[in-house]
Amino acid sequence: MNIMKFYLSKDACLKWLERPSVYHIKKDELYELDQKAFEFLEASYNGIESEENDFTDYCVKEDILTTERTIIKRPPLVKSPEPSLRYLELQITTACNLRCSHCYIAESPVELSIERIKTVLQEFEEIQGIRLLLSGGEPLLHSRFRELNNILPEFYFRKVLFTNGLLINSHILKDLNVEELQISIDGLEKGHDLLRGKGTFKRAIKAVELSIKEGFDVSIATMIHRYNLDEFEEMERLFKALGVKEWNVDVPCVTGRLKENPEFQLSPQEAGRFLRYGFGGGLHSSIEGFGCGLHLMAVMADGRIAKCTFYGERPVGKIEDGLRECWKRIKPVKMKELKCDCRYIDACRGGCRYRALMEGDEYGKDPFRCEMYKDG
């Protein structure tokens, strides 16, 4: 009998979601547990002696358990609401160093104070959040970003920085306390530069290469527009060759500056099939029977809270109301309530509710998603 002392890995964190779980922050993996396994891992906070067995062997292999002493401060285990709030987009500023033709954000820059950001981070950890999406504008332009960056290691969830890449350099990456950068690349040089400005493609690609070299996970977000339709095959080859972790492809909603730039707009018939592009893990497993955005909420730079940033003009509250209270006010969309009846509903989950709303009915069809599956 081989008795070992096991500790919870420093990158693993217990989360009390719909089911007891353990989340690996570095790998972005969520593992559901039974009660016995959950209690064992909770006891491993301070070290637990046990025989080696299939469970401990698996946990060591997955870097959930380690035999090295790792006693560190862990966040509170408080039962999450159901459905759980797992992903929080935190728009810390609307300031930006670009003026993209499709941007939906208002012209006048505003930013969240550090005090309000700290409140949000603390409440997100208490509600058992697993992935924080730091967005803007360009978040690196927040006037106190250095101070924010210094407190990020105090919180046990994955931090993802949304950036256009223009400010990324070795100096910033050396001290950046996030696990992942999501960099916006909206085509190859022709398509990207037409949307975002001359010379921005090469700088964004350089940011991708440098970030991967420095050991960060990198994902790429691409918006489909009029001038990148012939670039998707080559984009896919390029991003895979670079070692990108995930590629997310979407269609910009016709709001904000895109209204003023109709030459970039596409019909569902033109854009829908390009939603088939992209690769990577995406979001973690979810509860069956619910539509888009079940585990997501957004905090805007002026303190408003909504189901996502596109719903910013339909807020459910503000930071002072508390994340838990605002989350209660968001009604989950059940798939059986949607006016969708095709055979792809379980894969599609109804598509984007904001795009459906723009068509006149929040419970109606997302025409872009419908086109994506049309010839499937």
Quickly count: other Cβ atoms within 10 Å of residue 337's Cβ. Answer: 14
The length of the chain in residues reads 376
Q: Clarify whether residues 119 and 170 are in a common domain.
A: yes
Q: What SS3 class is residue 87? A: strand
Q: Clarify whether residues 317 and 349 are in a common domain.
A: no
Q: Clarify whether residues 320 and 352 are in a common domain.
A: no
Residue 272 has pLDDT above 90, yes or no: yes
| Alpha-helical segments (H) within the chain | 35-43, 54-61, 114-126, 145-151, 170-175, 189-196, 200-213, 232-242, 268-271, 323-329, 345-348, 353-358, 367-373
Higher-confidence residue of 118 and 70: namely 118
Within a domain: residue 75? no
pLDDT tens digits, one per residue of 115-151: 999 999 999 999 999 999 999 999 999 999 999 999 9
Within a domain: residue 268? yes
Q: Clarify whether residues 147 and 210 are in a common domain.
A: yes
Structural domain boundaries, residue 357:
335-376
Within a domain: residue 41? yes
Residue 154 has pLDDT above 90, yes or no: yes
Q: Clarify whether residues 222 and 249 are in a common domain.
A: yes
Within a domain: residue 94? yes
Q: Clarify whether residues 263 and 296 are in a common domain.
A: yes
Within a domain: residue 72? no
Domain count, the chain: 3
What is the mean pLDDT of the segment spanning 273-288? Answer: 85
Q: Where residue 97 falls among pLDDT bands split at 50, 70, 90? A: very high
User: Does the reported pTM lie above 0.85?
Assistant: yes
CATH of the domain at 160: 3.20.20.70
Q: What SS3 class is residue 55? A: helix
CA distances from 60 to 52, 53, 56, 197 (A): 10, 11, 6, 48
Q: Clarify whether residues 165 and 290 are in a common domain.
A: yes
Within a domain: residue 138? yes
Within a domain: residue 80? no
